[in-house]
Amino acid sequence: MSNTIEDDYWHPAFVGAVEIEFRAWKDDLEYLPEHILNKRPIKIDLLIIKRDKNLFLDNQIGNIFRTYNIMEYKSPSDGITIDDYYKTVAYAYLYKSHAENVDAVPGDELTVTMMREAYPRELFRTIEKYGGTVERKYPGVYYISGIFNTPSQFVVIQELDKNLHPALRLLSKKVEPTDVERFLLMALEFTDQGDRNNADAVLQPSVSANRAVYEDVRRKDPTMCEALRELMNDDIEKEIKERNREAVDASAIAMIKAVMENFGVDAAKAMNALRVPQADQLRYAAML
């Protein structure tokens, strides 16, 4: 698992998008984000456990799933190498070896999924050099075989079917307006609070990374504007409060400076004269 600041930014969105991807089976799957393997800081980005090992997920990404499914996500700016592939498979084996009882996690019940926005050309080339095979099973879904026995796949987000994987397609710095519209229309139908929270988690980094696209969608379609407002209500209210606070702060600073200049006093005396609350004085002093 990576641990950059950008990863911390995108990973909650990744978990939310995956839960939306498999929300039809929400009662059948257990999600364990950043699952700790041992006392050292080794974590699986996402571990998905099927409650019924015989359950088949009729989903292009979930088709490969068995009982224990290790998922590794790389944020849009992250590179990926053959070592990352080996490390992810190693996570699966470590997970098995750290089970409470011997063979409690059967080796043939493990799968590995890696996910990234862009096509991993160098990784696939190296896998084939090592004698492995990369097969395009579905748009954006590539099965890897010939190196490890554990079923493995790589998901290329920007190649995924637009109609089948709307949440995952937003985990990108290059989203398309149609992707945004398709996801918003789907998310507006969510009635479960968990689904709505996941939609919000997906939207936060996606909006920040593609602000121009979202602004264009909002400007052209009032329905989409309202959808964004409804789905991200808490974030919008927070942004409004922050903007209001910034405006109040700017006005207060201007008044403090005016008193200091006109009466030749220091900041502390100016703020006392203006009856600035003690709680704000230190903050304003740092801004002067």
Provide the pLDDT for residue 276. 86
Cα separation, 250 vs 222, whole angstroms: 32
The pLDDT of residue 226 is above 80: no
Cβ pair 122, 81 in contact under 8 A: yes
Q: Six-digit token pair at 143?
A: 């099965």
Q: What is the pLDDT of residues 44-64, one digit of tens each?
A: 999 999 999 999 999 999 999
CB burial of residue 44 (10 Å; 0-12, 13-18, 19+): buried
Provide the pLDDT for residue 166. 96
Q: Where are the domains of the chain?
A: 5-171, 235-287
pTM, two decimals, is 0.76
User: Of 4-13, 82-91, 173-182, where does mean pLDDT reach its minimum?
Assistant: 4-13
Side chain identity at residue 267, one-letter code: A
- 176 compared with 264, residue with greater pLDDT: 176
The confidence band for 240, taking pLDDT boundaries of 50, 70 and 90, is very low
Percent of the chain predicted with pLDDT > 90:
60
Q: What is the pLDDT of residues 255-275, one digit of tens each?
A: 888 888 888 888 888 888 888
Which CATH number does 5-171 carry? Answer: 3.90.1570
The confidence band for 7, taking pLDDT boundaries of 50, 70 and 90, is low
User: Of 29-43, 121-135, 192-206, where does mean pLDDT reach its minimum?
Assistant: 29-43
Which stretch of DSSP H or E encloses residue 185? helix 177-187
Mean pLDDT score across all residues of the chain? 88
Instruction: Find residue 142's DSSP bridge partners.
Output: 136, 154
CB burial of residue 12 (10 Å; 0-12, 13-18, 19+): middle
Provide the pLDDT for residue 274. 84
Q: What burial letters (b/e) apply to 192-205, b meaning 16+ CB within 10 Å?
A: eeebbebbbbbbbb
